[in-house]
Amino acid sequence: MKAGAILAIFLILLILLIMFYSPAISFIETQFNGNSSETIDVRSVEVNYSLENALNSYGNMGKGWTGSDGTYHITLPNGTVLWIFDDTFYRDMLPNGTRGDLSSLMRNSMVLEKNGTFYETLTSGVPVNNNLAYFPDPTQYQWYWPGPGEISGNRIEILLGLYSSYGSNPLDIKFQVTYLGIINESTLDLEKIILISNSQINWSQWVLHINNTTYIYGIGNGTSSMYVARVNGTDLEGNWSYYDGGGWSVDQSSAVSVFNRVAAGFSVASFDSEYILFTSNVSVPYGIFNGQIIGYISSNPVVNFTHGTTIYTAPQISKYQSCSVWTYGPHVQFSYSSEIILSYDVNTLNLSCQHNPSIYRPRFINIYLNISNSSNKLF
């Protein structure tokens, strides 16, 4: 075959490749950079007393929320902030300032805040399966732990992990599937809960909206593997596609792990043209008990997270040493040009310590960062 004919065939194949595969390739190669040569330089970390004190003051009143974990938020168009929580103690404060009946625990709740004042707890209003959770428990042994969400039109859409218990130990729980809770943005009434994914990837970990795309982050059930899906716009009920290692596929079974050092409750922030993944430390055995929050950096929001850096070590590990506490769920709440406000959760399985309401509540920290070319690589 002559060289001209070979060249023509090559060009035809190249055109076909570009036509049918370029959307997947261009995402990694042109929309974002590849491996980041940058690292995270933590200038300082400060406790955000403003947020902590405001939430604690509301909790100490005992009129609604008194403690929880699984901290997320959505800012509504009218400026009200909808705070979303997982396991929640409710209306259980005693006159002496301690937590009373621990049976008040419900699996999720939401709290309204505006201009720095927390003022109302949202629940189902009517007990369902002996529980006032805003997203009602489907059965006595199943419940929803909500995750992040988006506003889409006049709807608030919140990802929900469905969990179940299978034993008497509080940790005898397992993830089942991922649902989506849809709330009327005006009335804050729950409209419906729909199945969004029946895979063993828990997609209720994090969402990140970039330009006209929302990236959805999941974790493999019982693993430290991170997966990424995306949807056009902000409608989480829309058509998802899944990163398959080379591009995007509508076939969920083709999703591949893009990172293998995350703990449940991780989050991702866009910061200074880079992306920072925050997670509890799973690089060492029992890392969640050392209180470390680790940050990894990448030049795109999907792959190539590297240069693990210790961002912060939670002081509650030593402060409440007799209660055997652990910390988890570092969630990005607000991101600014040189600062990220992060929350993390503190918990204990020591039931006597749960009567101290100051333990089982979110903490908030201000992280002041620089992105640098330092070679200080920890992991």
Residue 35: predicted pLDDT: 58
Residue 373: predicted pLDDT: 66
Structure tokens at 266: 């991780």
- Asked if residue 4 has pLDDT above 60, the reply is no
Render pLDDT for 180-203 as a digit per residue (tens, 0 to 9).
999 999 999 999 999 999 999 999
Which residue matches tokens 């960062």? 369
Residue 20's pLDDT band, with cuts at 50, 70 and 90, is very low
How far, in Å, CA of 179 to CA of 98, rounded?
35
- Asked if residue 23 has pLDDT above 50, the reply is no
Render pLDDT for 70-94 as a digit per residue (tens, 0 to 9).
999 999 999 999 999 999 999 999 9
Strands 213-220 and 226-232 turn out to be antiparallel
SS3 sequence of the chain: CCHHHHHHHHHHHHHHHHHHHHHHHHHHHHHCCCCCCCEEEEEEEEECHHHHHHHHHHHHHCCCEEEECCCEEEECCCCCEEEEECCEEECCECCCCCECCHHHCECCEEEEEECCEEEEEECCCCCCCCCCCCCCCCCCCEEEEEEEEEEECCEEEEEEEEEEECCCCCCCEEEEEEEEEEEECCCCCEEEEEEEECCCEEEEEEEEEECCEEEEEEEECCCCCEEEEEEECCCCCCCCEEECCCCEECCHHHCCCCECCCCCCCEEEEECCEEEEEEECCCCCCHHHCCEEEEEEECCCCCCCEEEEEEEECCHHHHCHHHCEEEEEEEEEEECCCEEEEEEEEEECCHHHHHCCCCCCCEEEEEEEEEECCCCCCC
Residue 36's pLDDT band, with cuts at 50, 70 and 90, is low
- Asked if residue 105 has pLDDT above 50, the reply is yes
Percent of the chain with pLDDT over 90: 78
> Higher confidence at residue 27 or residue 276?
276
- Asked if residue 6 has pLDDT above 90, the reply is no
Q: What is the mean pLDDT of residues 143-161?
A: 98
CA-closest candidate to residue 220, choices 185, 261, 192, 183? 261
- Asked if residue 17 has pLDDT above 80, the reply is no
Residue 274: predicted pLDDT: 94
Residue 2: predicted pLDDT: 39
Q: Is the pTM of this model over 0.85?
A: yes
Would you say 214 and 230 are in contact if contact means Cβ atoms under 8 Å apart? yes
Average pLDDT along the chain = 88
CA–CA distances in Å: residue 101 to residues 83, 162, 274: 24, 26, 46
Which residue type, as a one-letter code, is found at position 21?
Answer: Y
Q: Among the listed ranges 101-110, 236-245, 247-256, 358-367, which one has the minimum average pLDDT value?
A: 101-110
Number of helices and strands in the chain (H, E): 3, 23
The residue ranges of every structural domain in the chain are 33-372
Helix ranges, 283-352 (H) = 316-319
- Asked if residue 129 has pLDDT above 90, the reply is no
Render pLDDT for 283-301 as a digit per residue (tens, 0 to 9).
877 777 899 999 999 999 9
- Asked if residue 258 has pLDDT above 90, the reply is yes
- What residues pair up with 327 in beta bridges, in sequence order? 346
Residue 338: predicted pLDDT: 86
Residue 30's pLDDT band, with cuts at 50, 70 and 90, is very low
Would you say 334 and 360 are in contact if contact means Cβ atoms under 8 Å apart? no
Q: What is the mean pLDDT of residues 325-336?
A: 96
33-372: CATH superfamily: Glycosyl hydrolase domain; family 43 (2.115.10.20)
Percent of the chain with pLDDT over 70: 88
